[in-house]
Amino acid sequence: MVGRFRCCRSQRIFVICLLGLALAVLLLSPHQSRPSKYAHFNESNFTFLYDRGIHEAFYPHLQHYQCREVVSQKALCQWDLSPKGLPLLLLAITSHPASHSRRSILRRTWARPRDVGGFQLRHVFLLAMDPQPNLALHESDTLGDILMWDFEESHHNLSLKERCFLQWMHRHCQQAAFVFKGDDDLFVNIEALTEYLHQTPNVSKFIHGNVHYRSAVQRWGKYAVSRAFYPMLVYPNFASGGGFIMPQPIIPKLYNASLWVPVFPMEDVYVGFLALAAGLRYRHDKHFRVWGPPRDELDVYQDSVVVHGISMERIEEVWKQIQRVLVRKKLSLATQTTKNIRTA
């Protein structure tokens, strides 16, 4: 009895070891042979577990959509408007198809194509479909500054604009030195923006904007995500989608990441995951006032790169005021120089 028991116990141990080994092989091998269902993203001492299966279960459309351009603007970055051959600063502006009046205000204010601060400025509006796309299509025919994809315009679908825009940049606009990406309800001080680009050390190494560090996940409200979908308490660092800057060397890295990182249903967090996967860094700057101006006065706008939360009428007003100040400065500088030449 005892002998037999002993014999069986060692056999059992052997079988258990064999099973354990098989289980280990089963668990480990998928990680080596095919793309992992999980990805670990490490940010300093914090690890994000990214579960592809859960992304597919909750937001299948975001994962499977193939970017189809209804209007593609293949040549947008190829026209050289600047006789001086200045580097291209592209403004990529997220807009709803129905927001015609916002777009027309931006075209005659800060998004107006021109040479400014050592850059040639060009803009493109990023649109998806709404039930009446014809008006936007007509606008695109006449103005040539609209990029449109065939998915439905919606809050969660905004992440698709990010993914499809990166693909478009990869295919049609690798020459842009900088891309400013923002919403159509912003005031952007282009002169301050170009100055920022010139003055920031190592500017091409970072994503620039209003950076949210370890932002808490919300379970209620407009930006809620369910615990079942994303159980972690914080997001990776990300720049507010209101308005941020991507330098040229960073864009192919984000694009590469977009080919395998699952799409998160919030567009700025999604870009945060792409940046994390690509090992990119941020530079936070307080001049990106995505929370609105501290005071509604001209000096605040003069001292900002981006201001969110003001009316379209105010955007137009502020832009005109800033331009007038700039013209006055130029004039006084010119008279100063003439005076200096005369006295010399």
Ligand X SMILES: *[C@@H]1O[C@H](CO)[C@@H](O)[C@H](O)[C@H]1NC(C)=O
Contacting positions for ligand X (CB under 6 A)? 40, 42, 44-45, 47, 61, 151-152, 154, 156-157, 201-202, 252-253, 256
CB of 248 to ligand X, least distance (A): 11
The enclosing H or E element of 322 equals: helix 312-343
CA-wise closest residue to 107 among 339, 337, 319, 322: 319
Q: Which CB, 61 or 74, lies closer to ligand X?
A: 61
Q: Is 187 left (phi over 0), alpha (psi -120 to 50) or beta?
A: beta
Pairing of strands 306-308, 186-188: antiparallel
Q: Which CB, 151 or 319, lies closer to ligand X?
A: 151
C-alpha to C-alpha distance for 209 and 334, rounded to whole angstroms: 34
CA dihedral of 207, 212, 218, 222, whole degrees rounded to 10:
-60
CB of 47 to ligand X, least distance (A): 4
CA-wise closest residue to 216 among 233, 195, 203, 240: 233
CB of 257 to ligand X, least distance (A): 8
CB of 323 to ligand X, least distance (A): 32
CB of 199 to ligand X, least distance (A): 11
CB of 283 to ligand X, least distance (A): 10
Whether 54 and 151 have beta carbons less than 8 Å apart is answered as no
Residues, the chain: 344
Q: Which CB, 121 or 211, lies closer to ligand X?
A: 211
Q: Which CB, 154 or 311, lies closer to ligand X?
A: 154
C-alpha to C-alpha distance for 155 and 22, rounded to whole angstroms: 46
Per DSSP, the residues of 136-147 read HHHHHHHH--EE
Cα angle for residues 189, 190, 191 (degrees, 5° grid): 95
- Residue 183: both structure tokens together: 């919403």
Q: Which CB, 156 or 287, lies closer to ligand X?
A: 156
Measured from the Cβ of residue 43, the count of other Cβ atoms closer than 10 Å reads 16
Greatest alpha-carbon span in the chain: 119
Q: Which CB, 62 or 88, lies closer to ligand X?
A: 62
CB of 77 to ligand X, least distance (A): 18
Q: Which CB, 93 or 276, lies closer to ligand X?
A: 276
